[in-house]
Structure 1
Amino acid sequence: MVTRYKSISKLTVTSALFSVTLLLSACGSNSSPTNAGNAAQTPAAPATSAVSTPQPAKAEVKMETINFAYMPNMGGAAPVALGEEKGFFKEEGIKLNPVKFLSGPPEFQAMASGDIDIAYIGPGAAFLSAQGQGNIIGLVSLGKADMVLATKKSGIQEWKGLKGKTVGVPKGTSGEMVLNLGLEKAGLKPADVNIVNMDVAGAVSAYVAGKVDAVAIWSPYTVEIEKQVGKENIVKLGDNSSFYPDYSFPSSWVVSPKFLKEKPELAERFMKAMNKTTDYKISHLDEAVKLTATYTQVPEDSLKQELDSIDWIDSKKQAEVFKDGTAKKWFDNLQKLFVDTGKVQSTVPSEKFMTTEPAIKAVQP
């Protein structure tokens, strides 16, 4: 069973309370003095018989806690539900302490305060890593789950129709990123639109109630909007794929710089557990959906629809794009967008906030 945590305040319990030592039975015990004495009283075996070799004792595994920020979708929550159910974290000596978030910026705030060690983020929050607030250590997927949806009654049919309209968006997210790309495509600036910063729940409610003309948000919330208002009352202006191949949108695992500095070996163990989880998930999607639905209480059909907008990155592919520079190009291009939209003042070499060693080492025998 996976333990649910309702608030960050529960993280204040001293980590020492979670430290447990797994006592593994020592192998090769038949080399003890007692057994050796017994062996001396036993007739020698024929020269042709096989001689058993004592097996070396396994090293003890120290269980350590990782405070992990997830989002209630297939990218962020499936690893929690699946990894705990299958014991992948336990195998690596990790006690995962999962805490739910709805967007990336609050996760970075929690990392800065020491409440979160590692988090799942979408591409929109990567600008905070570029600012030095977190190191990207793993990749989850490339996606097109972020969308800008206009209401039918707004009369908006294309990007340029957003001029002068009210758009609800959680700022600092990949939803805002797609919105800004769409405005640029239409020759508009953010100042040409009445952009209202809302949390995820507020944006969904405002759209359903007709209090905004459009929202910039992602699945599974886009699926829930469709359920509530009907597909015929939604005008989809675009999603991430509208800007491919100029831009790719990777979701990733990001680690607190302090945690990475103090516990690099534990970060590598985390990536080993995540690699097991990811590869199992990709080959058992139906099971992953069921477990994630139970864990998050998000309907299975919503999670299944979310899969249509996800291109998973398995452990082998992750190591490849880290090694050959492909991932660096993805984040280099995103940084240019961050500069254009005022998220950062200037770009930095992406390798400064990408720590690839844990993921690459995690796939080595």
Structure 2
Amino acid sequence: MRAQAPAKVIRIGSPDLGTAGKPSPGSSALAVAHANRWLEEEFAKDGITVDWKFFRGAGPAVAEALAAKQLDVVFLGDLASAIGRSRGLPTRYLLPTGRGSNSYLATAPGVKITSVAELKGRKVSVLKGTAYQRPFDNLLATAGLTEKDVKLINLDWPSSKAAVVAGEIDATFGGSDLFLLRDKGVTIPISTKGRGPDFTINAGVLATQDFITTQPQWAQRLVNQVVRGAHWASQKAHREAYIKLVVEHSGAPETGVRAEFEGETLASRFSPLIDEALVAGYQGVVNDGLKLGILRQGFDVNAWFEPRFVQQAVRDLKLERFWSPLDAQGKAKGAA
């Protein structure tokens, strides 16, 4: 019997960061490629299908699908990807798609919380195992609190939004999509903006070792298209078009997207370079994860990164001088 030819499909998994029934990888360089169907166009000429899978259960659900060998490539926030790697998922980190994202606390109608200290004893939802858990825990620590000092409820993002609007919980912690709830009486009194790298989130694209080994050319072509998206989103002239794209394709509230990027240079947000600052950021996530008991064991963060694909993409697209690599302190080191 002849062996069956392998399926010509790339299975991409992402937390569902969209709202209003619009599945989306959120506000990232990957979101640009997704909205413009650049990956589909790139691979269609060879009869290769791109199969997007969006998970309401976010990082933990993506990890389950990876463990079941149902995905080849994933888009994940820093903590979720680190948890998966620490548990033995054979992923390699290909490139960042967004750096330094902030988080927000939304309070139920009529609930007055103006400081982190006032969260003590309150019912607060956080989707555990996602990138938001680390900045939430670090925020609590600024007031001498831990998760044990609040009534922490583990809810997915759609459920937490419904619960805070209904007053079933006092507050929920998550992304800028929470601004969507302000017209329902929800307030957003606290954010992590301006608090430094311990309170921000990096996100990136990872692939399984098997995918990289068996389909390195596919991996390179995919990375090229994501870097193309990063380049487009990084340009000052595209700022308004980028905000419009995110709002249109994810259903995210424009006020939230604008608040997230206010005062930010999008070129620094969307630099796809694997530089010292990125590696230091993920090392910080692993260190905090171990300290907070979210990760049971560490791993070699530096060896996890697979920079050759993004380095080749930058050369292929002639973008060597577009982004500057950053040192571990976040200072520019010169052109890539």
Q: What TM-score range do you get, normalising by the shorter chain?
A: 0.7 to 0.9
Decide which of 211, 219, 222 is 1:267's aligned counterpart.
219
Structure 2 distance, partners of 1:206, 1:116, is: 31
Structure 1 distance, partners of 2:277, 2:225, is: 23
**What amino acid is the match of 2:38?**
E
Query: Relative to structure 1, is the Cα distance of residues 295 and 89 closer, same or farther in structure 2, using a 3 angstrom cutoff?
Result: farther
**Residue 47 of structure 1: aligned partner:** none
Q: Check if 1:328 corresponds to 2:283.
A: no
**Residue 162 of structure 2: aligned partner:** 205
Decide which of 176, 180, 183 is 1:227's aligned counterpart.
183
- Asked if the contact 2:123/2:171 (under 8 Å) is kept, the reply is yes
Structure 2 distance, partners of 1:190, 1:173, is: 15
**Residue 357 of structure 1: aligned partner:** 308
**Alpha-carbon deviations, 1:118-158, whole Å to 9, x = none?**
12112231322441422221101123332223346333221
**What amino acid is the match of 2:182?**
E
- Asked if the contact 2:101/2:202 (under 8 Å) is kept, the reply is no
**Alpha-carbon deviations, 1:147-192, whole Å to 9, x = none?**
2233463332211111111101111112222210111111112111
Structure 1 distance, partners of 2:158, 2:270, is: 36
Q: Which has the larger radius of gyration?
A: 1
Alignment of 1:1-365 (within 5 A): 16=6, 19=8, 65-70=9-14, 71=16, 72=24, 73-75=26-28, 76-84=30-38, 87=41, 95-102=49-56, 103-131=58-86, 132-133=88-89, 134-151=91-108, 153-220=110-177, 222-229=178-185, 233-239=186-192, 241-242=194-195, 244-246=196-198, 248-283=200-235, 284-298=238-252, 303-304=257-258, 306-308=260-262, 312=266, 317-319=271-273, 322=274, 324-365=275-316
- Structure 1 window deviating more from structure 2 (262-271 vs 306-315): it is 306-315
Query: Relative to structure 1, is the Cα distance of residues 332 and 153 closer, same or farther in structure 2, using a 3 angstrom cutoff?
Result: same
- Asked if the contact 1:142/1:250 (under 8 Å) is kept, the reply is yes
Deviation at 1:326, TM superposition (A): 2.1
Tell me the SS of whatever aligns to 1:174: coil
Query: Relative to structure 1, is the Cα distance of residues 92 and 238 closer, same or farther in structure 2, using a 3 angstrom cutoff?
Result: farther
Tell me the SS of whatever aligns to 1:154: coil
Deviation at 1:224, TM superposition (A): 1.1
Query: Relative to structure 1, is the Cα distance of residues 191 and 122 closer, same or farther in structure 2, using a 3 angstrom cutoff?
Result: same
Q: TM-score, normalised by structure 1?
A: 0.71
- Asked if the contact 2:179/2:255 (under 8 Å) is kept, the reply is no
**What amino acid is the match of 1:172?**
G
**What amino acid is the match of 2:61?**
P
Structure 2 distance, partners of 1:251, 1:184, is: 23
Tell me the SS of whatever aligns to 1:250: strand
Q: Please, which runs of 5 or more residues in structure 2 have no aligned partner? A: 17-23, 317-336
RMSD of aligned alpha carbons: 3.1
**What amino acid is the match of 1:270?**
L
**What amino acid is the match of 2:187?**
I
Deviation at 1:99, TM superposition (A): 1.9
Query: Relative to structure 1, is the Cα distance of residues 158 and 361 closer, same or farther in structure 2, using a 3 angstrom cutoff?
Result: same
- Structure 1 window deviating more from structure 2 (287-296 vs 102-111): it is 287-296
**Residue 21 of structure 2: aligned partner:** none
Q: Please, which runs of 5 or more residues in structure 1 have no aligned partner? A: 1-13, 20-64
Structure 2 distance, partners of 1:344, 1:205, is: 29
**Alpha-carbon deviations, 1:175-221, whole Å to 9, x = none?**
2222101111111121111101001111001111111111111122x
Q: TM-score, normalised by structure 2?
A: 0.77
Percent identity, please.
19
Query: Relative to structure 1, is the Cα distance of residues 275 and 91 closer, same or farther in structure 2, using a 3 angstrom cutoff?
Result: farther
Structure 2 distance, partners of 1:236, 1:255, is: 37
- Asked if the contact 2:40/2:49 (under 8 Å) is kept, the reply is no
**What amino acid is the match of 1:191?**
K
**What amino acid is the match of 1:96?**
V
Deviation at 1:246, TM superposition (A): 4.5
Structure 2 distance, partners of 1:309, 1:146, is: 16
Deviation at 1:341, TM superposition (A): 1.7
**What amino acid is the match of 1:84?**
W
